[in-house]
Amino acid sequence: MILDIKKEYAENLAKPKNETIYLNKRLFDTYNSIVDFKLNTKLFGTNIDLGSGDKGFSEVCRINNITSYPYDYPEFDIEKDILSQSDESVDFVTMNAVIEHIKDPSSILKEIKRVLKNEGLLFIRTPNWQLDFKNFYNDPTHVKPYSPDTIKNTLKLSGFEILFLEPGLIKKSRFWWKLPDRLKWRIASLIKGGTKSILCVAIKNKGK
How many domains is the chain built from? 1
What is the extent of the structural domain holding 29?
A: 5-204
Hey, which bits of 7-140 come out as E strands?
Answer: 46-50, 67-71, 90-96, 116-127
pLDDT band, residue 208 (cuts 50/70/90):
low
**Cα–Cα distance between 59 and 96 in angstroms, integer?**
15
Give residue-wise pLDDT tens across range 55-94: 899 999 999 999 999 999 888 999 999 999 999 999 999 9
C-alpha dist (Å) from residue 130 to 59, 136, 169, 194: 32, 10, 16, 13
Q: What is the pLDDT, as a whole number, of residue 185?
A: 80
Domain of residue 126, CATH code: 3.40.50.150
Instruction: Tell me whether strands 46-50 and 197-204 are parallel, antiparallel or unpaired.
Output: unpaired
* Whether the predicted pLDDT of 205 surpasses 90: no
Residues with Cβ < 8 Å from 101, sequence gap 6 or more?
A: 6, 51, 78, 141, 142, 143, 144
More confident residue, 28 or 183: 28
Long-range contacts of 79-87 (CB under 8 A, 24+ apart): 79/103, 79/104, 79/107, 79/108, 80/107, 82/111, 83/48, 83/111, 83/112, 83/114, 83/115, 85/46, 85/48, 85/115, 86/115, 87/114, 87/115
The 10s digit of each residue's pLDDT in 134-189 is: 888 888 889 999 999 999 999 999 999 999 998 877 767 777 878 888 888 888 77
Q: What's the sign of the alpha-carbon dihedral 169, 122, 46, 102? A: negative
